[in-house]
Amino acid sequence: PAVDKLDLKNIQGDILSGLPKKTEFYYFFNITDGPEFRKDLCDLVPLITTVDQVLKDRKRIDDHKKQKLPGLVPLTGVNISFSHLGFVKLKINDDTLSANPASRTDAFTVGQKKDAVTTLGDPARPDGQPDWDDSFLKNEIHGLFIISGESIESIEKKKREVNKIFGVGSEKASIKEIKTIKGDVRPGDLHAHEHFGFLDGISNPVIKGFDKDVNPGPPVVDPGVIVTGHTGDEAKDRRQDWAKDGSFLAFRWLDQLVPEFDKYLVDNALKEDGNGQTLTPEQGAELLGARMVGRWKSGAPIDLVPFKDDPQLAKDPKRNNNFHYADEINSQLRCPFAAHVRKTNPRNDLEGRPNGVSIPVAPNRIMRRGIQFGKEVTKEEKESATTKLPRGLLFACYQTNLEKGFQFIQQSKVSFGHADSRTSKAHDNHIRLDPIVGQGNRVMSGLDPLDPKKELSMPAFVVPRGGEYFFTPSLKGLKNTIAV
């Protein structure tokens, strides 16, 4: 079949290529004057960074590196997204975005606040609201600017430009800032690592017809899994033109309890590896962490190197994503069923199983972006094993179906298909709980390779502080329908 042609000048840059960034603002706004906003938006459109622009920017960065030039290439990016309440405020009928236009009970319409406690499992306040920062509780968030760049000066300047377009600070302002959260890549060698210390951003879906370098790994996915209006988007045929070439963005503001996580690893350090080799307390803590995530801190997948890290393998894009749990469908020896990466993308556990049903994984895949926030752990926090300063992940992911993408994964439903979970009830209850993003006190099996049925209980290490669902429209959608 013909491969969809993607108009890279029509798709916002973060969706397919990821805005290049050292630092980034997630700037949440409220629209105070709808008609005025739609006029102002015309002036923002030329500032929006498309996929085409990001590819050019990435080339500039590569050339700069090749020539061994000092410093960083100065560059910024701007993307814009809207919540359902934003479209309501703008009087734009967004039925075309809904998975069920007749009832409009889809996640995008309902919004993440309503979804948080009942569906996502976030802790609740006594009044039943999610225990989030107030700014995410008032139904005021209409849209989001993502402003990225190589330095704080660059993104502050870009934010001033954006504010000027919408008259912020003057009587004619059409928006009000609700909250801006600043994300920062971690310093030095930790730059691609999240705050628990693991290399992140290794495995994202490779898009048919878009990605040129296809490294060995999970099968490529149809563009419509991530970009609306294309093959793989179930609602493709009924998307109105303005809603094509866009994507749904699930945003989550997640605190990570790093000193507590580290202490947990030390307190529960494994004594032996899967070959029965005795481990030092440090090695035992390291292996336990690797088994919770499914990768070593270096990024090397434990499905390939279960008991000893291999930093060379971790760095090699031809090898670091080329694993399938293929010959361990019923085994947790190498990788626990509930390890974060195995639950969030079960690969051949579900798809292409040698015997039995093959359940496609592609509809549940998401394009992860996001950035770290907060300072490094202080000496005092380390010594007291207690978080004093907020830090964590501004999690963001794109997909064309929020229910099958983010919502499904966060509910940890993905590994229901494990042969084991179907046959063993006790097991079924326990493998569901993701040790990284899971909420509440919970138990997990499979952490001890020599005794996979042994259960370890654990508290939550990730605390949700807010979130929302957005739609990130195409450039044409912005120009011809949303702006006037």
- Contacts with ligand HEM by CB under 6 A lie at 194, 196, 198, 200-203, 252, 254, 256, 293, 295, 340-341, 344-345, 366, 368, 392-393, 395, 406, 409-410, 436-437, 462
Task: Give DSSP secondary structure letters for 181-221.
Answer: EEEEPPSGGGTTB-TTS-B-S---PPBTTT-S---SSSPPB
Q: Give the shortest CB-286-to-ligand HEM separation in angstroms.
A: 14
Q: Give the shortest CB-69-to-ligand HEM separation in angstroms.
A: 29
Query: Which residue among 94, 106, 122, 200 is the active-site one?
Result: 200
Q: At 11, which amino acid appears?
A: I
| CB closer to ligand HEM out of 209 and 219 | 219
Note whether 361 and 324 are within 8 A (CB): no
Note whether 313 and 305 are within 8 A (CB): yes
Distance CA 264, CA 442 (A): 14
| CB closer to ligand HEM out of 239 and 252 | 252
Count the Cβ atoms, other than its own, within 10 Å of residue 341.
Answer: 22
Q: Give the shortest CB-166-to-ligand HEM separation in angstroms.
A: 31
Q: How many Å is the maximal CA-CA distance in the chain?
A: 71
CA 293 → CA 86, 338, 463, distances in Å? 36, 9, 17
Q: Give the shortest CB-192-to-ligand HEM separation in angstroms.
A: 9
Question: CB under 8 Å to 204, separation ≥6 — which residues?
Answer: 367, 368
Q: Give the shortest CB-13-to-ligand HEM separation in angstroms.
A: 20
Q: Give the shortest CB-198-to-ligand HEM separation in angstroms.
A: 3
Q: Decide if 106 is catalytic.
A: no
Classify residue 5 by its DSSP letter.
P
| CB closer to ligand HEM out of 269 and 341 | 341
Token digits of residue 86? 């934003």
| CB closer to ligand HEM out of 53 and 372 | 372
| CB closer to ligand HEM out of 80 and 437 | 437
Secondary structure of residue 40 in the 3-state scheme: helix
Distance CA 220, CA 210 (A): 10
| CB closer to ligand HEM out of 264 and 406 | 406
Scan for tokens 């654990």, then name that residue.
Answer: 458
Distance CA 24, CA 183 (A): 5
Beta pairing, strands 442-445 & 455-458:
antiparallel
Q: Give the shortest CB-201-to-ligand HEM separation in angstroms.
A: 5
| CB closer to ligand HEM out of 75 and 341 | 341
Residues annotated as part of the active site: 200
